[in-house]
Structure 1
Amino acid sequence: MSVRFAAIGLDHRHIYHMVGECLAAGAVCVGYCPETSDPRVLEGFRERFPDLPQRPREALFDDPDVQVVLCAAIPADRPAIAIRAMRAGMDVMLDKPGAVSLAQVDDMAQVAAETGRILSICFSERFVVRACELAAKLVADGAIGRVIQTTGLGPHRLNRAIRPEWFFRPDTFGGILTDIASHQIDQFLFFTGADNARIVAAAVANRNLPDVPEFQDYGDILLDSGAARGFVRVDWFTPDGLPTWGDGRLFLTGTKGSIELRKYVDIAGRPGADHLFLTDAKGTRHIDASGEPLSYFTRFLADIRDRSATAMPEGHALTVTRLAIEAQAMANGARNT
């Protein structure tokens, strides 16, 4: 029987791939709440999914047929929606970041434990990247040995003219490390096999937007799990000349080789996205990973039915969120001293 879901929180365009991939994986959308802080997101949603029914938010929460809530609300509002859904007996898939404060993380962890509901975060820079799917298989097969270091780069295009007002306020979107860097923290834990990590150092800066001094357009983090180290760099400096929103890259250093992912573009090189470069004892090679199937959404829906944790280990989503918020707090403190 198909999993039935509702979409609540249409404030970020990530809701498009969250809903679209769940539909492609066989789930059924029973409705969406049109409440939004950005009418352009709602317009894009209706263009992509013209046949989905619009329903009031409370009607969706009260519908006993709804098994899952998908949410890409304003980041500061996501925890309350997740908690409301879990208390109503529903599982949850959030856009990142899942929260903007440690108190919110604690509240969600408590409710998830009390209710036994699944709380997942769609880290799109891993789950919607086919090159990451192939890299995961290669690492699992021992192609580069044990991963001892990762470097994750997450540059983004600012697109300032289309950003809503909440995007520039740290109390609503959390800051650059809470937001973007959660992707790279997720990848560090996943590819090194670590359950947790320590924030060794973190930094943020506003280099180019003096008129919004609380906004941060650059950030970096150094992570340590004991068995591996990770470096993260995120920014809002993708130039307009790049044919995509950012040159996202991931480097995995293993005991027997290395992998580089050019996720979205191979600049002045091969066309398309999802480029994987493997170096091992046999030499170097480029692999086109664009045909690799995405697995997160299929596994997530199976977890809903089977009450399992194949898409994401229990607690992983909140561990990543907690680390991102801790890094943000460390960087904010250093910035203010």
Structure 2
Amino acid sequence: MSRPLRFAAIGLDHRHIYHQVGELIEAGAECAGYCPETSDPRVLDGFRERFPALQPVERERLFDDPLIDIVVSAAIPRDRPAIAIRAMRADKDVMVDKPGATMLEQVAQIEAVARETGRIFSICFSERFVVRACEAAVRMVAAGEIGKVVQTVGLGPHRLNRAIRPAWFFERDAFGGILTDIASHQIDQFLFFTGARDAEIVASATANHALPDVPDFEDFGEILLRGGGASGFIRVDWFTPDGLGAWGDGRLFLLGTEGYIELRKYIDVAGREGADHLFISNRTGTRHIDASGEPLTYFRNFLADVRNRTSTAMPDGHALSVTRLAVRAQVAATRLSCRG
């Protein structure tokens, strides 16, 4: 296949669609159009502002176009599996925003259709694939700079921005719960950096501390998991204060047998300017690395996988393993009492 790969955007319900589309174009793919259907007109307005040359196209025409190779989606989470399945059955590979599904039944359906059609189902875990400090950490861990990774601690705080959230954001059936949604990032990082193919959810919990008027919503969650001889702890929340100069102080700690790495992904609180800070301490010393110039590799690798039918962007089955674990953690979670 010598022509550029072509993709369509279907599901403009979350702002993550911006980097999915933008980074694929940057990696050399062509966008054949987008479906303008959305639950949040502000997302559509932002899409048109960023990509004014792209044309709206009716959804079924995009699915049925034989010259479109890929469908990308940041639809309402509960709707992503149906879009992915429709695309794969139309002989298209798929990249969705996280979470890839909200129920175990959906995970099984996606897995069955991917096996049946031979298509790629990939999830753009933006807290790894669109974070340059993570790219630097990948190289360092692969080079053995901290030995074998035996534990990860992933912190995923977010700013709520309640006034601008669409209605579905607060509907449990729509977003799947805080562990299904946000914590899928940290589960992805645990499996990737430890090399574990699967894991056990040892314990999980959720809470609604600050929004009693929306009882089904969860603003706090935590998971303890183990796999591949390693362990991991995850904390996610919606408590980023308005005074912080980033949407969240996302951090990742990688403990190895010969050192450790800390990533301050989006802000070094009261420290250095900018994002993508990496701190490493090992047998040769302790240092800070500005990883803001590190190239992103996921989108280029994904396109290579579409061409070559390989799995360099992520191992076969990884996306669904992460999703399955996140949903299991959500289903098993203890609901914490928030009474004083």
**Is TM more than 0.5 here?**
yes
CA apart distance, 1:2:
1.1
**Structure 1 match to 2:124:** 122
- Give yes or no for the alignment of 1:252 onto 2:233: no
CA apart distance, 1:333:
6.8
- Give yes or no for the alignment of 1:60 onto 2:65: no
Contact 2:207–2:335 (8 Å) recurs in 1: no
2:205 maps to a residue whose letter is A
Deviations 1:168-190 (A, max 9, x none): 01100000000000000000000
1:178 alignment partner, one of 177, 180, 199: 180
- Give yes or no for the alignment of 1:146 onto 2:148: yes
CA apart distance, 1:283:
1.5
CA apart distance, 1:226:
4.2
Give the TM-score taking structure 1 as reference length. 0.98
Deviations 1:268-319 (A, max 9, x none): 1000000000000122100000000000000000000000000010100000
**Structure 2 match to 1:282:** 284
1:331 maps to a residue whose letter is A
SS of match in other structure, 2:244: coil
**Structure 2 match to 1:228:** 230
Gaps of 5+ in 1: none
1:293 maps to a residue whose letter is P
Alignment of 1:126-275 (within 5 A): 126-275=128-277
Do the aligned partners of residues 280 and 106 (structure 1) sit closer, same or farther apart at CA in structure 2, a change above 3 Å counting?
same
Alpha-carbon distance between aligned partners in 2 of 1:29 and 1:5, rounded to the nearest angstrom: 5
Alpha-carbon distance between aligned partners in 1 of 2:232 and 2:335, rounded to the nearest angstrom: 21
SS of match in other structure, 1:244: coil
2:306 maps to a residue whose letter is I
Alpha-carbon distance between aligned partners in 1 of 2:336 and 2:310, rounded to the nearest angstrom: 41
Instruction: List structure 1 runs of 4+ shifted beyond 2 angstroms.
Output: 332-335
SS of match in other structure, 1:187: helix
Alpha-carbon distance between aligned partners in 2 of 1:87 and 1:241, rounded to the nearest angstrom: 47
SS of match in other structure, 2:333: helix
Contact 2:206–2:335 (8 Å) recurs in 1: no
Deviations 1:30-54 (A, max 9, x none): 0000000000000000000000011
2:74 alignment partner, one of 65, 72, 75: 72
- Give yes or no for the alignment of 1:91 onto 2:93: yes
Alpha-carbon distance between aligned partners in 2 of 1:99 and 1:141, rounded to the nearest angstrom: 34
- Give yes or no for the alignment of 1:20 onto 2:22: yes
2:274 maps to a residue whose letter is G
SS of match in other structure, 1:221: strand
CA apart distance, 1:86:
0.2
1:290 maps to a residue whose letter is S
RMSD (Å), alpha carbons = 0.9
Gaps of 5+ in 2: none
Deviations 1:186-224 (A, max 9, x none): 000000001000000000000000000110000000010
CA apart distance, 1:334:
7.5
Do the aligned partners of residues 251 and 234 (structure 1) sit closer, same or farther apart at CA in structure 2, a change above 3 Å counting?
same
Alpha-carbon distance between aligned partners in 2 of 1:195 and 1:159, rounded to the nearest angstrom: 35
Deviations 1:228-249 (A, max 9, x none): 0000000000000111100000
**Structure 2 match to 1:41:** 43
